[in-house]
Structure 1
Amino acid sequence: MREIRTIAVPAFKNSTLEPRLEVLVANALIRQLQQDGTYRITSERDADAILEGSIERIDRVPSRGSRNNSSLNILADFYQTSEFTLKLALNIKLVEKNSGKTLVEKTVNGTASFFVSGANPRPDETQQVSNDSRVAARGRTANVNRDERQAVPQAAEDAATQITSYLSEGW
């Protein structure tokens, strides 16, 4: 590995339905590698090795929640998740450009936790909408998709940090 001084990081293959995730992950990885300084990032034409990658999965797993007990309506009694863990599964492969030899092949899981905004409003902040539903007043409804989108870059950064650490320290 001592002969590898420059690495190219093309956009990763995206096997998920999350748009532009491949560019986000590749850019996070390039930033981390540049910050680390062990390898210089360059074009594929000038690189000693190429870091290929694929994004295999993105999962949202409930981490924490609470029971919403409503004395006003028995049908509004439910369990509500307030925190999720976002998991980003990547496969990477570092290939020596001249020989085509695979130097590293590894699966990395980047994670980030996020809270659902507007989750678990206080009883005085809810209003009866119908006989079987309650929503948060003043626009405080849970928007899990928006909160998840904000966690995706954090999971990408976590994966990039792990990959950079592995490449520079963990052979």
Structure 2
Amino acid sequence: MAVLTTLLAVEPAAARSATDLFVESGGPLGYALVFLFAAIPWFEIFLVIPLGIGLGMNVVGVAVFAFLGNALSVYAVIAFHDRARAWWMRRRKTETEPRERARGRARAIWDRYGLAGLALSSPLVTGVHLAALIALATGSKKRAVGAWLTASIALWTVVLTAASYYGFGFVAGL
């Protein structure tokens, strides 16, 4: 709290909470925070959208910035996957061949659900960043991974935004 107080240059008794900071900065800073937190794995849209809407931020603004933050960070994972893999292989100085048993289980899951199943379930199950890495590791084309994950993020953004908006509206009406 002391760090926040120092950063905000206010008296300790009048220090604002993180919630107040979010709500009061409903302008560019608030939406920049939505964008940033949506780009962080495990925060992503499932936490950011309900939080932003619950704090009274503009519903459309939260949805757009959460979508952009989540999607652009996934594109970064896809874009830098080859470089990271090459770095890892140089560091290990060996071929990274997965164990046969693990490969069999992963292949069975992949064969059953495929890229579409992984992408559509990823916000709930693995997070979209890990899903991108899994899809790329199984040999999927970057363009297909990007397209499916973008569609999944868009779908889940709409669902979460609607559920949060109407959910908070229902609770407020009680």
- TM-score tier (shorter): under 0.3
Between the two structures, name the one with larger relative contact order (CA 8 Å, sep ≥ 6).
2
Instruction: Tell me the TM-score normalized by structure 1.
Output: 0.27
Larger Cα Rg: Structure 1 or Structure 2?
Answer: 1
**Greater helix fraction, Structure 1 or Structure 2:** 2
Instruction: Tell me the TM-score normalized by structure 2.
Output: 0.27
**Greater strand fraction, Structure 1 or Structure 2:** 1
